[in-house]
Amino acid sequence: MNWKFSGDRPVYQQIMENIRGSVLRGELPPGGKIPSVRDLAAQAQVNPNTMQRAMTELEREGLLVSGGTSGRTVTTNLEVLSDMKEQILEDLARECAEKFMVFGVTPSQAAQRLLALDQKKEEMK
């Protein structure tokens, strides 16, 4: 996992995003074990209380499952995983659209640009 934090947003939220990303990219597979809060805090160089909070929130979302003394695992509930992926892609699309709008480019014009980019790549091959 790549731990980099920006100072202007809550650290626990950035940890949550980071772990969601790792699950989506397959670095943390469904049913995979999550290291202990203490180990993760040491890895990420953050306060253990902050790491604990991020884990608790992710459990509440259903992405992580608490296994009592045996530690946390990534959920095997595929519905939760696909919902989360949907949510992240939607957020990404919205962010992207907002950035294009700054230059007065509408979402459909932006979509055309993305397609054009794809075609260029094809031609390169």
Partner 1 sequence: MSCVLQAEGLTKRYHHAAALDGLDLQLPAGKIIGLLGPNGSGKTTFMKIAAGLLTPTTGQITVCGQAIGPKSKALVSYLPDRNCFSKRMKVAQMLDCYQDFFPDFDRARAEDMLSALAIDRDARFQTLSKGTQEKVQLVLTMSRRARLYLLDEPIGGVDPAARDYILHTIINNYDPDATVLISTHLISDVERVLDEFLFLYQGKVIRQGEADAAREESGKSLDELFREVFKCLPNC
Binding footprint of partner 1 on the chain (CB under 8 A) = 5-13, 38, 41-42, 45-50, 53
Q: Which of 5, 100 has the CB closer to partner 1?
A: 5
Least CB distance to partner 1 at residue 122 (A):
42
Q: How far is CA 119 from the centre of its chain?
A: 29
Partners of 73 in beta bridges: 33, 65
Measured from the CB atom, the residue of 34 and 37 that comes closer to partner 1 is 37
Residue with structure tokens 């980071």? 18
* Closer CB to partner 1, 49 or 82, in the complex: 49
In the complex, least distance from residue 44 CB atom to partner 1, rounded to whole angstroms: 8
How far apart are alpha carbons 108 and 114 in whole angstroms?
A: 10
Q: Report the nearest approach of partner 1 to the CB of residue 76 (Å).
A: 30
Buried b (16+ CB within 10 A) or exposed e, 42-51: eebebeeebb
> How many helices and strands, by DSSP H and E, does the chain display?
5, 2
Q: How far is the CB of 84 from partner 1 (least distance, A)?
A: 22
Q: Which residues neighbour 57 within 8 Å (Cβ) at sequence distance 6 or greater?
A: 12, 16
**Residue number, 19 or 81, with CB nearest to partner 1:** 19
